[in-house]
Amino acid sequence: MAMSTALWSFALVVGLLTLTPGLDTALILRTSALGRRRRAWGVVLGIQTGTLLWGAFTSLGVTALLTASHLAYTALRWIGAGYLIWMGARMLRDTFRGLPASDLDDSVLTADADSVSSGWRQGTLTNLLNPKMGAFYVAVLPQFIPPGVPHFTMGLLLTTVHILTGLLWSAVLIGFARVLHGWLRKPQARRLLDRITGTVIGVFGIRLALGN
């Protein structure tokens, strides 16, 4: 497989993966729709940081060890599931307690709730605690590395394609969320958004815990 063919083929695969609605989409849309534009871009950068690390670990063969170790994979799966379930449950609990959605955060409330750094921490943690990302890279990435090409260099190049695709799609999501911002000025609309997002996140956590 020629390098250019491998890059285009991998771009198609990760493009379809990126367009599939999931946890990342829910986090980005929710954060941006609430008017936290800086935090939303922080979440995006955090997700892509996690993607870069998964790609680098895979290229070095580290995630292959994680996949081979049932105990390590199970431990990471339960930690990730617990984090997602906690995040979703907290979001749902606070909306039913009547707290305004604009005051909700995924960690302790601070003055920098709309900062890039706070979003980056959330995005990175969410991505790295998802063992399915590691499993995906272990299963897919090596198939797109042509024989005779430096494994680590090509792996990072393919990962960069994934990151660029994610950044482009995230820009579209953030732009779309701005359209919703006017409607979300209503407290009822914000609570509805957080209930939907909290449910999505919680379901992902439960599915991860069940190994689905």
Chunk the chain into consecutive blocks of 10 residues (it has 212) and report each block's average pLDDT, rounded to whole numbers: 81 85 83 85 95 90 68 75 81 69 42 77 89 79 83 91 95 84 68 78 79 66
Query: What residue numbers bound the domain in which 173 lies?
Result: 3-97+114-210
Total count of domains within the chain: 1
Residue 107 maps to a domain: no
Q: How many residues are recorded in the chain?
A: 212
pLDDT digits (tens, 9 = 90+) for 46-55: 999 999 999 9
pLDDT digits (tens, 9 = 90+) for 61-99: 876 666 666 776 677 778 878 877 887 788 788 777 755
Residue 119 maps to a domain: yes
Predicted pLDDT of residue 112: 52
Residue 125 maps to a domain: yes
Predicted pLDDT of residue 101: 46
Predicted pLDDT of residue 104: 41
Round to whole Å and give the CA distance between 63 and 142: 12
Residue 105 maps to a domain: no
Per-position DSSP letters for the chain, written without gaps between them: --HHHHHHHHHHHHHHHHHS--HHHHHHHHHHHTT-HHHHHHHHHHHHHHHHHHHHHHHHTHHHHHHH-HHHHHHHHHHHHHHHHHHHHHHHHHHHTT--GGG--SSS--TTTTSHHHHHHHHHHHHHT-HHHHHHHHHHGGGGS-TTS-HHHHHHHHHHHHHHHHHHHHHHHHHHHHHHHTGGGSHHHHHHHHHHHHHHHHHHHHHHHHT-
pTM score of the predicted model: 0.74
